[in-house]
Amino acid sequence: MTEENKNEPQDKAVDEEVAREMEGVPEHMRDDGEADETSEENPLDEALAKLKADLEAAMQDVLYARADTQNVRRRLEKEVQDARNYAATGFARDILSVSDNLARALDHIPEELRENEKSKHFIAGIEATQRELEKVFTQNGITRIASTGMPLDPNQHQAMMEVPTDEAEPGTIVQEMQAGYMIKDRLLRPAMVGVAKKPD
């Protein structure tokens, strides 16, 4: 008996034992040891490609989220800065009428009262109040708009009338009826002015 013939009963016994063990295993789960290598690689390649695509998409989402966060932060910083710069806007508009009335009162004081010893101190007090008010305006970034002698700027001046004259170029402001003011770089109130025009 040859060596091969001796091993045959053993191989047959092993095959029968394996067959018995595999009886309860579903067909699709059986591994016969001859699986095609490419069929194992393809699902792995597909899974790897899908993971790479998911990673790229996630990285893109992170970049978009970071950009959005940065934009929101910049916008909030600007809003905070604007709130600081222009917080006094409403109050300043209201107090301008007080300043106007104070200026009108000083403009309409008769000359004899200015020379009177008793009223001199009273007038000096009003003038000091006006100077203090102007100082407070300056501290809060509120500045008066230059008008008389300047060309009309529709962003800062409101033309109320035309004044026929040869003494100024047409379009030049020759009269200011109400002072205008800026707060920082924003218009607080336009100056109401009269503008020169050529006489008829």
| Predicted pLDDT at 11 | 59
Q: Which domain holds residue 133?
A: 88-140
34 vs 43, more confident:
43
Lowest mean pLDDT across 3-7, 96-100, 141-145? 3-7
Domain count, the chain: 3
pLDDT in tens, 54-106: 999 999 999 999 999 999 999 999 999 888 878 888 888 889 999 999 999 89
3 state DSSP class of 71: helix
- Cα–Cα distance measured from residue 109 to residue 97, given in angstroms and rounded to the nearest whole number: 19
**pLDDT higher than threshold 70 for residue 9:** no
**149 conformational bin, left if phi > 0, alpha if psi -120 to 50, beta if neither:** left
Q: What is the CATH number of the domain that holds 180?
A: 2.30.22.10
Instruction: Based on the fold, state whether residues 153 and 134 are members of the same structural domain.
Output: no
Nearest one of 14, 176, 43 to 103, comparing CA atoms: 176
- Contact between 177 and 195 under an 8 Å Cβ cutoff? The reply is no
Q: Which pLDDT value is given to residue 8?
A: 56
**pLDDT of 37 strictly over 50:** no
The verdict on residue 24 lying in a domain is no
Q: What percent of the chain clears pLDDT 90, i.e. is strictly above it?
A: 46
Residue ending a domain, choose from 87, 106, 123: 87
Residues 82 and 53 both lie in one domain = yes
pTM of model > 0.75: no
